[in-house]
Structure 1
Amino acid sequence: MKRIKETLAKINRIDMFSPYFFLPFILVLYFFTSLFDFHRYEQFKITESIWPAVFLALFCYYIGVYIIDKMKWTIPSFGLSFLGKYVIHFIVLLTLLGLSCYLMMIFGGGLGISDESNRRNLDPKLNFFSQLLWFGVLLLLSYKMILEEKMTWKKAFVYGSIFATVMFLFLLMGYRTPLIIMLFTGIIIFHYVVKRVKLTWFLTALFVIAVAFSMFGFIRVLTEDTTIDFNKRDQPDVELTAEEREKLVTAEYKVNQTPLWMRRLNEESVTGHIVLSTIIEYTQQEGYLNGEIHRGIFNTILPGEQISPRMQVTKVVNSIGVEKGKYITRESRTTTPTFIGQLFLDGGYLLVAIGFLLYGVLISLIYNKVKQSGIRSFHAVAYAFVITVFSVTMHTGLLDLIFILMLGFVIIASSVIKNDKKRLQY
């Protein structure tokens, strides 16, 4: 018993939100939980191993973190430090813009949580700019917490209540990603400012949060109106041999032996594993897309009807799935490719290496800024936000223009903002 307590004490001393631990831990945990597939790999006839790409991603990420850490480099100001005093004012303007767009969207388009088809039919421009509401509130509240000379539990409760209110507003839209980003950014700020979060507590909270969001998706699927074309679950009309048909039926029977609610617990990571493996299989047959996925991020703002990157991923993985008699994703839905899959589809192992190297470099640059300036600075807020978004992209990929713009703003703000706390108070 004493040895167990000593081991737990050592574990709890780990700074779980450092660049060396948090993102790699999330990546490893994500793909580790995908190993419990309940025969879904057999059902989708998965053949290609994802592990060379995963290990390469981890290796290159650590190279980026290590080099920047040892060199003690930080993000340069690019001669724009004079803009630092306007950062908070600009965030306030973005928040007000987001609030206006959110209200117009709510009163004009209904709630996305009621059905997936409603969520997809929200006004795209209003939906885009409404994201600035949670983004602005997150930065302002986090920074205000950072500036508190003495953070009491009462103040923490007030900040937490405001966080919860804004999270509820976006829960009504049916989007989970903003909720996860707000939640984990808040936890990181709480860890550094209010009370250090022990690793054992964090793992418990992570499990509870993962189950909650999995059940949220589970309920959303159960309540779909299947009479709507968007919600149909038809499978490809393809000729299979008697042996192939029998294997497919047998695999589906094995899958259905596990209760649906249990499969939902790790369905996101299992699906991510399936999608990544299918992407690797696709590139072996058809070659890489050579930047088409990443160009699609910016093409979505062009006039006319554009295909989103995640819809392109759906077409890619389903082109393989059709041959096997089973869609990976319903034809009308988008597919989250994982960040590894996003990079691999456009440029294979080389782009995976470059992408994760850059992740490591960026995170370490900001973390060095935090170490130089101290926790009570905007740099801590920037670091918490950036590492959270990067961790979320392990599943979703970084394919939303709004998130790229948010990351760009936060990184630039961290590079130009000054450390004079009195001048930056609001």
Structure 2
Amino acid sequence: MKQFFRKLNKIDTFSPYFFLPFILLLYFFTSMFDWHRFEMFNIHVSIWPAVILAVICYYIGVYVIDKMKWTIPSFGLSFLGKYVIHFIVFLTLLGLCSYIWMVFGGGLGISDESNRRNLNPKLNFFSQLLWFGVLLLLSYKMILEKHMTWKKGFIYGSIYVFIIFLFVLVAYRTPLIIILFTGIIIVHYVVKRVKLTWFLTTLLVIGVAFSMFSFIRVLTEDRSLEFNNRDQPDVELTEEARDQLLTAEQKVNQTPLWVRALNEESVTGHIVLSTIIEYTQENGYLNGEVHKGIFSTILPGKQISPRMVVTEVVNSISVEKGKVITRGNRTTTPTFIGQLFLDGGYLLVAIGFFLYGALISLLYNKVKQEGIRSFHSVAYAFTITVFTVSMHTGLLDLIFVLMLGFVIIASSIIKVDQNQLRY
């Protein structure tokens, strides 16, 4: 047994060949423990052909770029490399001002679900730059440390915890997960290697913690508000269908709520993906409408967010069965596979995951060629974390698309020595 764990710990936990596909398969594996929710939503379309295709195409992308030893080109922008850190500092200050203005103007999202949903969208958008900028600066500063002492480690850890605390107050989980895992990856490459067994334990603890975070958020919501209404659609069902639905609900309710909460996100992701595939079988693909919505939401006037489009799609199927997957006026996380499938089916899933694998491999090659004590490690850690998180959420937020674009370009052009962070 000891020999098995010794071999297991030799695996580079955060390499392109392991981290993302492992999380993806683990996510959908845990979703199989559905506590009869599949029966309640009458899920009958298999997701596994799409999932297996995604993993295969991802590995092809990683392998091809790895064997060619290609890296991200500089795009002819190398002359801007010396300004990258200064620009990150500017983004951080912009994010700090936006965060303060948002919190004092709209309250704390953690105190009330309606507050979280009604935060000023523009201020919320720019406030994300606070954790983004601090994460990049702090990670890069850690990488440049030749000798990491306990005192320095405590200071860096305290700043990480403080930033996490600030965004716990507004009750958005995605930034917290990105901050945590980017920090862990940085520690893995420049401080101390994270053994796979330790990583799996940490993953379990973090997974349970965020599941309970979501669970408590749901329990504390004000049911008197229309926004939190849990009424199901009033549709005519045959007597047999009604009896089946009631029986399935009884089976679900036999499992304690906190147990269901442990993997509720992955089960819901499975249900959404299956329903998306079922929708396209009956209605065809949306041919880019979901991805177009990422950018159209910043246009003036009323715009429908891509996640709201997903909500309308999945509910159009589930309402006919007497249930809604997502409550009205709320958005749906489609999983990245679902996001691609809804717009272009298996072909777009194949293309999307091939590009994911290729891009991650390009950054990883840059780290291997230029060394781990460089901004390239920060860019790689951030990118693979965002890509991995998007396996559940989808990559539908413009701010994350812009962040990814920035770190990739910055990695390709930056040439900074250790004195450039000392202002």
TM-score bin (small chain): over 0.9
1:165 and 2:162 aligned: yes
Separation (CA, whole Å) in 1 of partners of 2:111 and 2:10: 43
Residue of structure 2 aligned with 1:190, choices 171, 177, 187: 187
Separation (CA, whole Å) in 2 of partners of 1:237 and 1:47: 23
- 8 Å contact from structure 2 (residues 82, 416) kept in 1: no
Separation (CA, whole Å) in 2 of partners of 1:312 and 1:247: 29
Q: CA RMSD in A?
A: 0.9
How many residue pairs are counted as aligned between the two chains? 423
Residue of structure 1 aligned with 2:14, choices 3, 12, 17: 17
SS of 1:392 mapped into structure 2: helix
- 8 Å contact from structure 1 (residues 151, 193) kept in 2: no
Correspondence for 1:290: 287
State the 1:305 CA deviation.
Answer: 1.3
Separation (CA, whole Å) in 2 of partners of 1:215 and 1:169: 19
Q: Within 5 Å, which residues of 2 pair with 1:223-262?
A: 223-262=220-259
What are the Cα deviations for residues 127-163 of structure 1, in whole angstroms up to 9, with x where unaligned? 0000000000000000000000111222112101100
State the 1:421 CA deviation.
Answer: 3.8
1:351 and 2:348 aligned: yes
State the 1:115 CA deviation.
Answer: 2.2
Correspondence for 1:104: 101
State the 1:203 CA deviation.
Answer: 0.4
Residue of structure 1 aligned with 2:319, choices 318, 322, 340: 322
Correspondence for 2:148: 151
Q: 1:413 to 1:425 in 2, by over 3 A?
A: farther
Separation (CA, whole Å) in 1 of partners of 2:24 and 2:107: 35
Separation (CA, whole Å) in 2 of partners of 1:318 and 1:37: 19
Separation (CA, whole Å) in 2 of partners of 1:98 and 1:277: 38
Separation (CA, whole Å) in 2 of partners of 1:194 and 1:322: 52
Residue of structure 2 aligned with 1:181, choices 175, 178, 181: 178
Q: 1:423 to 1:113 in 2, by over 3 A?
A: closer
- 8 Å contact from structure 2 (residues 141, 421) kept in 1: no
- 8 Å contact from structure 1 (residues 152, 194) kept in 2: no
SS of 1:376 mapped into structure 2: coil
SS of 2:372 mapped into structure 1: coil
State the 1:113 CA deviation.
Answer: 1.1
Correspondence for 1:61: 58
Q: Partner letter of residue 412 of structure 2?
A: S
SS of 1:76 mapped into structure 2: coil
Correspondence for 2:385: 388
Q: Partner letter of residue 327 of structure 1?
A: V
- 8 Å contact from structure 2 (residues 41, 318) kept in 1: yes
- 8 Å contact from structure 1 (residues 19, 363) kept in 2: yes
What are the Cα deviations for residues 192-217 of structure 1, in whole angstroms up to 9, with x where unaligned? 11111111111001000000000000
- 8 Å contact from structure 2 (residues 215, 258) kept in 1: yes
Separation (CA, whole Å) in 2 of partners of 1:174 and 1:238: 34
- 8 Å contact from structure 2 (residues 23, 388) kept in 1: yes
State the 1:422 CA deviation.
Answer: 4.1
Residue of structure 2 aligned with 1:138, choices 115, 135, 138: 135
What are the Cα deviations for residues 36-92 of structure 1, in whole angstroms up to 9, with x where unaligned? 001000000001000000000000000000000000000000111111000000000
Separation (CA, whole Å) in 2 of partners of 1:64 and 1:232: 44
Separation (CA, whole Å) in 2 of partners of 1:53 and 1:410: 29
- Deviating more after overlay: 407-416 vs 191-200: 191-200
- 8 Å contact from structure 1 (residues 276, 340) kept in 2: yes
Separation (CA, whole Å) in 1 of partners of 2:309 and 2:153: 43
Separation (CA, whole Å) in 1 of partners of 2:420 and 2:78: 13
* TM-score, normalization by structure 2: 0.99
1:217 and 2:219 aligned: no
% identical aligned pairs: 80
Correspondence for 1:280: 277
SS of 1:344 mapped into structure 2: helix
State the 1:121 CA deviation.
Answer: 0.5
Q: Partner letter of residue 123 of structure 1?
A: N
- 8 Å contact from structure 1 (residues 339, 396) kept in 2: yes
SS of 1:62 mapped into structure 2: helix
SS of 2:223 mapped into structure 1: coil
* TM-score, normalization by structure 1: 0.98
Separation (CA, whole Å) in 1 of partners of 2:145 and 2:123: 34
Separation (CA, whole Å) in 1 of partners of 2:420 and 2:304: 45
